[in-house]
Structure 1
Amino acid sequence: MEKLKIEISLLLPEVPDEKDCCVRELMDRLQGRQGIEKVHISSKTEMGIPQLCFHYNPDEISMARIETLARQTGASLTEKFGHRLLAVDGIRHARHARHLEQTLRRLEGMLQASVAPTGMVWLEFDRAGTSETEIISILRKEGLEVKKASVSEKDYTHQTGEGVAAAEAEERKRLEKKIEPHSDHTHEHGGVFGKNTELIFSIICGVLLGTGFGLSFVEGVPDWVSLSLYIGAYFFGGFFTTKEAVEEILKKNFEIDFLMLVAAIGAAILGEWAEGALLLFLFSMGHALEHYAMNKARKSIEALAELAPKTALLKLDGKTEEVGIETLRLGDVIVVKPNSKISADGVVVKGRSSVNQAPITGESVPVDKMPVASPEKAYSPESDIEDESRVFSGTINGNNTLEIKVIKEAKDSTLSRLVQLVNEAQTQKSPTQRFTDKFEKYFVPSVLLLVVLLNFAFLVVDEPFSASFYRAMAVLVAASPCALAISTPSAVLSGVARAARGGVLIKGGRPLEDLGVLTALAFDKTGTLTEGKPKLTNVVALDDLSEEEILKKAVAVEALSDHPLAKAVVRDGKERLKGTPVPHAEDLEAVLGKGIKATLEGNKVYIGNLALFEELDEIKPPQEIIGKVQSLEADGNTTMLVRENDSYIGIIALMDTPRAAAKATLEALKKLGIKRMVMLTGDNQKVADAVAREIGLTDAWGGLLPEEKVAAIKELRQQESKVAMVGDGVNDAPAMANSTVGIAMGAAGSDVALETADIALMSDKLENLPFAIGLSRMSKRIIKQNLWVSLGIVALLIPSTILGLANIGVAVLIHEGSTLLVVFNALRLLAYKKK
């Protein structure tokens, strides 16, 4: 468990000492969060400055996430600590990524470094110990090309002074100018035949090897012909292997490429040219196919960044002008032509069309869009915008022209945030990957020691040195943990990529694996299991009036109010009345804060809850009416009594109805093996029980305050171990933070939901939850399969080569075969289908 001490004066400049309530609030926000073991105030330094000490696991929570929470209470960590997500080109494979990670972690001032085989580098560093200039210099010395000095411009916006921001921006420009346009390496190993050079060289090697081997059985053909062909096969098969081996040796590293080269040279020295050429052919072909397979997964993620168009049609003074999306500002109006991509997050102000939102939300059916009621209003991302009026950058317009008012700049768009978070997710290691890294840390030195000892076997066993050397080389090949190194990263990368394509953001390997072992789910009620909007469910006539007459009176009076329940009565009431004229009410006034009163056709009409009429006057509702009200409330309804003058004429019942897909979704989750599904709500227990019965929950806990939801999650974790909290990511943030996995629904357009959750369902559709859990279950299975295959092959080959049951050719064939097997097994996740 790593520790980090931060001065309170840096976090909270306005706080006089550690006893301030803001310090306690900051500690409470961080205490108990997944990955944070402990937060406390450490002893004062010599300067008398108190410090907060964080005990955290960097593989479960990053400093950036800690920073986000701290910033919500006025903290600013970015003055002291730098956070950078760099995109680099030239990382050849998983082992190279791990070596680079270790190099960066040894740098003074580096707090955390994580490198993905896809080329994403996540860094957290103390500015006092190192700088971005020094870090990029080290990356260039490693032969890498830094494609972007920062993936997100937002990295440069959290500064406290214009001078600092300007200096950072200038440094970035200077760094980008220094970066060479091409590096020695790319994933494709470019060369005379372009990006496929390594693959073509490998094929040529195989052809020369096969020809030479075939000619060796033809009488009359001199031996030197086959030997010449084998030497040619050595050149083409060993070209890139030698190149990588030399580069690594110059850096004082001994990678698998060097070991394979030594084994091939050893075979040639022993006169086994054909066997050595076979080794190089299989190794080079395996590398080429591994690069191809990993590129397929990487490009699946990179495709997200290509969704957004580079330009937009800006409407100014009645004319349109094509501009770059980076020049769009809040409030600008853009024109989107039929069948073209939408260039920015915004609201529709003119036109009606259907929009394909699959690139962002994963929805397979286009969504109808219509203009907002007030086009002239200044909308913001936090505004109350109906789904049918909100649009996202990167989505595809249908057959009609739309005019859209921009509410987010390009760098802050939902698509931009999604791309950034997916890139960060690549650098977050899963528990299995952390295990394999630790395993290799001890395994590799042990193998090297074994190989050295085997070279001296001829001193103990009656055999020539050449036989001992050959056996040692065979063990070297057999024990190389290539498959182990790539098994988990390839599965995590493929799982995250497939999820993103389906409208689900999974922030790394840990939540991907944790989601697959959940036994319990906790749901927020309002807006998660229910529609979040009250609907008129019942109208009860108490006098000689008909239900229609009661409804007309209620709609007339409630039309004067802007209360959410009043709006629901008017909306649904008018729909039930089907065009029947509604009388006009006047003189609306609130009564005791529990209802309203208005004048309708010369009569006083009161509408409110039971408590209103208990306190209003001496004319109390009879027990029979009270019984009917209580019966409706027991079924989960919110009720309002209607009284005209002195007579109680009706009861109106409303309910936040369950989502149409809720019941089927919960049934699908049960089939996936989720044992407990608990609803946490602030509504009374009767309402909670009614909803639970209707949709099939196992538990319903009502009357909970936000802090009580956190306590409920902690209790569930004690009972079930692995618990996910599903909510909207705003009000449910504390409960999400204390669950094993926090899942936010409807995260598209909501920065808070994207920041808070471990997993974000981009669309506001509960039915995407089984897809996310099903994908995670499959990812977990594939990771386990890959782990058993990679470890099993090593466990089988090492004794086989030591005992002489397998030669170098067989060892390399099985070795490379297992590497390809785990990679292509992982790629099956890209084809996972929603059920």
Structure 2
Amino acid sequence: MERSRIDLDILLPEIPDERDACVERLINMLQYKRGIDKVHVIAGDTDKKARLCFHYTPSEISLNGIEQIAKKAGAEITEHYGHLLINTTGVRHPRHARIIEAALEKYMGILTVSVSGTGFIQLEYNKEVTTDKTVLEQIGRTGLAIINVEDFHVHRQESQEKMHEDQDLNPDHDHEAGADEHAHGGVFGEKTEGIFAIICGALLGIGFGLSFIGGVSPYVSIGCYIAAYFFGGFYTSKEAIEGISKGAFEIDFLMLVAAIGAAVLGQWAEGALLLFLFSLGHSLEHYAMEKARKSIAALADLAPKTALLKTGGAISEVQIETLKQGDIIVVKPNSKIAADGIVVKGNSSVNQAPITGESVPADKMPVENADAGLENSDKLDAKYKVFAGSINGGENLEIKVTRVAADSTIARLVKLVNEAQTQKSPTQNFTDKLERYYVPSVLVLVGILLLAFLVVDEPFSASFYRAMAVLVAASPCALAISTPSAVLSGVARAARGGVLIKGGKPLEELGALSAIAFDKTGTLTEGKPKLTGVYPLAGIAEEPLLEIVVAVEKLSDHPLAAALVKGGEERLKKDIAAAANVSALQGRGIKADYKGAVIHVGNKELFAEKNNKLPDNINQKVEVLESQGNTTMIVQQDDRYLGIVTLMDIAREDAKETLTRLTDMGVRKMIMLTGDNQKVAEAIAGQIGITDAWGNLLPEQKVAAIEKLRASEKKVAMVGDGVNDAPAMAKSTVGIAMGAAGSDVALETADIALMADKLSNLPFAIGLSKKASRIIRQNLVISLGMVAVLIPLTILGIANIGPAVIGHEGSTLVVVFNALRLLGYKKQ
């Protein structure tokens, strides 16, 4: 049996990621084809995209046959299923989002749909039953205004053209800044709901005040209350009717019934108070959603709209959409960088905080070979790379564009954050399910209380009044807004801090972690070997020994040689001329002529073979140094041993402090997973405070290690730089990718992406998650606690509609403002 792998985006170019239902459909189609024994997904990493792995029998099917079958199956699925991310305006709050979601689920051809409280709609549809044009028409009929439509992974102009062709679906729709205002269809634009609530309150106050003035007819006060009913009940009635038309009895319906009931009983003031506070709460909920939305939308405005394109000696201003890979753009001092690229001219410090959250500007310099191909630009050192939306310092830069505007890091970040808004948290799923059964239960309870006069000696009016009070008290208004407002605020704050959190689930689970597994290389360590020690033997000083090593290693292209040369010249503070007749000894070291002598630099195996045996004193010294995690290189001149130099992939400067902070935050166990030998792993672990170090692990063994951890710790995160870590990330509770800025695959495969290559951002993300979880719990206690208190009080007649309204709407306002506190969360 043999294996073959095919990039998933070749087979299914439109899917958002490998967790999409279409991947499972594709596997099911291929699993039982003749000659194919097994098909499974291999998650992507920073070097490779997500792939399908085929286990097949060569005697029954050829490699070419597999490719043809897979492409055909992928084409069939792509032909049958479409995926859209749609940005709309007009969703006023999470309850309204749920009504829209329920309505869209009923349309023929829509398979799955998720609507966020900020107006983003993510859906999958069957192309055999409907089209994207029809889907947009169906969304238009819900009263939403469409801002833009995006196919996943495919920026199709035709979708945009269809949207513009069909503007008649939304008569109030405007693609410019005013679009949001018209989404409400009010005379005051987007502020209409709030202004109506204020007018309602003013009329209520006037009517209540006039009732105490002698000689003023009571009908004047009633007239004011009726006018207050109109302004306070306008949006309540609108949403209640919309919900009923879609078969949903939402909170708006309950409030409307209670207000009408109060009017029937002649309690106009209490009914007007109910509608005033409810409409005010509504408008503040909408304000909370808009604040979170605008915080996220601000990301899209980070990149400038135009760039200075250099063509020959001429410079012209162009739209960023027209930039192509390989174009050279000029960035003036203190201006925003217009595209992802590499610096080809100029030195400057660049503020990358808008993308990575780094507080200190990063120094940038020109790449040595400006004419090099763009295909390897991702592998260049960070000092050569810049991102769209970052801010140049005080010097001119010339940048070669490596990504077009639609594929820039900031564009992908915005898109992924928008997708994240549609992903519900476990708590939100719980509260949604609770409300689905809770609202009908409230209606049944109210129906029973309406008949209380048959059992209790009281008039029907008293039973009716009590039932209306219970209706107000039992409405789960605060419950509906408690979780989504906190999740959206948390996701927005994280994005501003350089952390991408993909929805409510990872936001909640991140703070509950009890164990974190770290990849070593590039995560806990710098990922690059550095010269750590020079140990001359008798008869030679450190400086001449280092000169010989640098001269010999200067012409080698081995990564260790580059580290020796760089570290040596930094210590010597001068350039050293290269040796002559350099030749590599594969897997052992290097040989060269230098100042009339033959120099060998290599590992102990080289000298054990060359001289039959390594002297005991040198062998013991090498073993001691290697036990401390060093890679050792022995230096010999002719037949004389000159000394030993050591290299090590050293721990990050912030690693120890970060791990200490994580321990203080309640993470009990921190484990290093690495392919390096156990001694190296233990040496690094001892330096930074890792509790356990597991070395000599292959990628599949890292997966087994995560499974073992989950069995004992339940909530486990895997933190890596993406290289070979993706399978382990997929098995963990939360997968966290470091240094995701500029890496498409790291952005798409991880649950949480730390945009900067800084481990210190991890405590910020966990701290934000913990605070978000606390706020969600607080909101649930406030919302459910208020209901639990008010229901008995109103049933027993201790509290009437007035206190019930104040308690009900007061709790709603409290949870809204409590959730908004997350937007102000500060890094510790």
TM-score of the superposed pair, with normalisation by structure 2: 0.90
Q: Does 1:476 align with 2:467?
A: no
Note the alpha carbon deviations across 1:656-675, whole angstroms, 9 max, x for none.
Answer: 11111111111111100111
Greater CA drift, 236-245 or 519-528: 236-245
- TM-score where L is the length of structure 1: 0.89
In structure 2, what residue type is equivalent to 1:305?
A
CA distance in 1, matches of 2:396, 2:22: 54
- Equivalence for 1:612: 606
Alignment of 1:666-681 (within 5 A): 666-681=659-674
Does residue 787 in structure 1 map to residue 786 in structure 2?
no
Partner SS state of residue 544, structure 1: coil
**Take 2:553 and 2:426, find their aligned partners in 1: how far apart are those partners?**
56
**Aligned 8 A contact 2:285 2:481 in 1:** no
Which residue number in structure 2 is paired with residue 62 of structure 1?
A: none
Q: Aligned equivalents of 1:508 and 1:670: distance in 2? A: 25
Quote the offset at 1:387 in angstroms. Answer: 1.3
2:565 aligned partner, one-letter code: V
2:442 partner SS: helix
Deviations 1:420-471 (A, max 9, x none): 1101111111111111111112111111111222222222222222222222
1:295 aligns with 2:290: yes
1:260 corresponds to: 255
Asked if residue 763 in structure 1 is aligned to residue 779 in structure 2, the reply is no
In structure 2, distance between residues paired with 1:668 and 1:511: 20
CA contact (8 A) 1:109 1:127 kept: yes
The superposition leaves residues 531-583 of structure 1 with CA deviations (integer Å, 9 ceiling, x where unpaired) of 1111111111123111111111111000010111101111110111122x635
Higher mean Cα deviation, 89-98 or 377-386?
Answer: 377-386
Cα shift at 1:473? 1.7
**Is contact 2:173–2:183 with CA below 8 Å preserved after alignment?**
no
Specify the alignment match of 1:831 in structure 2: 824
Distance 1:175 1:19 in 2: 48
Find the aligned partners of 1:239 and 1:335 in 2 and give their Cα distance.
Answer: 54
Paired with 2:152 and 2:266, the residues of 1 have a C-alpha distance of 59
Query: Counterpart of 2:344?
Result: 349
Instruction: Say which is worse superposed, 236-245 or 742-751, in terms of deviation.
Output: 236-245
Q: 2:173 aligns with which of 163, 177, 182?
A: 182
Alignment partner for residue 443 of structure 2, among 445, 448, 453?
Answer: 448
**Partner residue of 1:603?**
597
Whole-angstrom distance in 2 between the partners of 1:598 and 1:606: 7
Q: 1:531 to 1:11 in 2, by over 3 A?
A: farther
1:210-265 residue CA offsets vs partner (Å, 9 max, x unmatched): 22212222223332232222222222222332333344444454332233222222
Partner of residue 810, structure 1: 803
Q: CA deviation at 1:502?
A: 0.4
Larger displacement relative to structure 2 (383-392 or 494-503): 383-392
Indicate the residue corresponding to 1:591 in structure 2.
585
CA–CA distance in structure 2, aligned partners of residues 232 and 247 of structure 1:
22
What aligned pairs does 1:151-162 form with structure 2 within 5 A after superposition? 154-156=153-155
**1:588 partner amino acid:** V
For 1:251 and 1:225, the matched residues in 2 are separated by: 38
Distance 1:607 1:175, change over 3 A: farther
Of the structure 1 ranges 393-402 and 375-384, higher mean CA displacement relative to structure 2 is found in 375-384
State the Cα deviation string for residues 386-436 of structure 1 (Å, max 9, x = none): 211211111111222211110001110000110011011111111111111
Q: Is the 8 A contact 2:103 2:246 kept in 1?
A: no
Conservation of the 8 A alpha-carbon contact between 2:550 and 2:578? no
**C-alpha distance in 2 between matches for 1:390 and 1:167:** 33
- The match for 2:697 among 699, 704, 718 is 704
> 1:515 offset after TM fit, Å?
0.4
Runs of at least 5 residues in structure 2 that lack an aligned partner in the other structure: 1-18, 45-52, 56-69
Amino acid at match of 1:182: H
- Indicate conservation of the 8 Å contact 2:143/2:170, yes or no: no
Measured on the aligned residues, the alpha-carbon RMSD in Å equals 2.6
Checking the alignment, whether the CA contact within 8 Å between 1:422 and 1:507 is kept in structure 2 is yes
Q: Deviations over 1:631-684 (max 9, x none)?
A: 100010000111111111111111111111111111111100111110111111
**CA 1:592–1:615 in structure 2 vs 1: closer, same or farther (change >3 Å)?**
farther
CA shift, 1:288, in A, is 1.6
| Alpha-carbon offset, residue 156 of structure 1 | 4.3
Closer, same or farther in 2 for the Cα pair 1:827/1:454, shift >3 Å? Answer: same
Indicate the residue corresponding to 2:453 in structure 1: 458
- The reply to whether residue 423 of structure 1 matches residue 418 of structure 2 is yes
Q: 1:370 to 1:176 in 2, by over 3 A?
A: farther
CA distance in 2, matches of 1:732, 1:245: 50
Partner of 1:272: 267
1:626 and 1:120 map into 2 onto residues whose CA distance is 65
Query: Counterpart in 2 of 1:545?
Result: 540
| Residue type of the alignment partner of 1:512 | L
Cross-structure match for 1:143: 143
Shift of 1:155: 2.9
Q: How does 1:632-711 map to 2 (within 5 A)?
A: 632-711=625-704
Residues 531 and 656 in structure 1, CA contact (< 8 A), matched pair in contact too: yes
- Compute the displacement of 1:137 (Å): 1.9
Alpha-carbon distance in 2 for matches of 1:278, 1:599: 94
SS in 2 for 1:86: strand
Q: Counterpart of 2:788 in structure 1: which amino acid?
A: A
Q: What's 2:306 paired with?
A: 311
Structure 1 match to 2:508: 513
Tell me which amino acid in the other structure corresponds to 2:138: I
2:110 is the counterpart of 1:110: yes
Q: Could you tell me whether the CA contact under 8 Å between 1:27 and 1:40 is conserved in 2?
A: no
Q: Distance in 1 between matches of 2:341 and 2:21?
A: 42
Whole-angstrom CA distance in 2 between matches of 1:114 and 1:797 = 33
Distance 1:29 1:755, change over 3 A: closer
Are positions 1:133 and 2:133 aligned together? yes
Shift, 1:79, TM fit: 3.4
| Shift in CA distance, 601/16, structure 1 to aligned 2, threshold 3 Å | farther
Distance 1:3 1:334 in 2: 41
How far apart in 2 are the matches of 1:188 and 1:86? 15
Question: Kindly tell me: are residues 725 and 74 of structure 1, through their superposed partners in 2, closer, same or farther at Cα, counting changes over 3 Å?
Answer: farther
Q: Partners in 1 of 2:22 and 2:405 — Cα distance? A: 34
Please list the CA deviations of residues 473-496 of structure 1 after superposition, one character each: whole Å capped at 9, or x if unmatched: 222222211111111101100100
In 2, distance between residues paired with 1:723 and 1:312?
A: 44
What is the distance in 2 between the residues matched to 1:167 and 1:367? 40
- The answer as to whether partners of 1:381 and 1:749 remain within 8 angstroms in 2 is no
Q: How does 1:523-562 map to 2 (within 5 A)?
A: 523-562=518-557
Instruction: Give the structure 2 partner of residue 364 of structure 1.
Output: 359
The SS at the match of 2:697 is coil
Counterpart in 1 of 2:234? Answer: 239
Could you say which residue in structure 1 is the equivalent of 2:194? 199
| Residues 771/27 of structure 1: CA separation in 2 closer, same or farther (3 Å cut) | closer
Measured after TM superposition, the shift of residue 179 of structure 1 is: 4.5
Q: Is the 8 A contact 1:679 1:701 kept in 2?
A: yes
Indicate the percent of aligned positions where both proteins have the same amino acid.
Answer: 62
Does residue 17 of the first structure (1) align with residue 50 of the second (2)? no
- Change in CA separation of 1:250 and 1:701 when aligned onto 2, cut-off 3 Å: closer
Q: Which moved more, 1:472-481 or 1:744-753?
A: 472-481
Write the distance in 2 (CA, Å) between the matches of 1:314 and 1:4: 41
Q: Deviations over 1:569-608 (max 9, x none)?
A: 11110111122x6354111112243111111122111111
SS at match of 1:668: helix
1:624 aligns with 2:624: no
Distance 1:657 1:230, change over 3 A: same
Secondary structure at the counterpart of residue 363 of structure 1? coil
Q: Helix, strand or coil for the counterpart of 2:556?
A: coil
Q: Specify the code of the residue in structure 2 equivalent to 1:577.
A: L
| 1:530 Cα deviation from its structure 2 partner | 0.7
Q: List per-residue Cα deviations over 1:58-98 (Å, max 9, x = no partner).
A: xxxxxxxxxxxx99x99995333211111111112211111
How many residue pairs get aligned? The number is 783
Amino acid at match of 1:17: K
Residues of 2 paired with 1:408 and 1:4: CA distance? 28
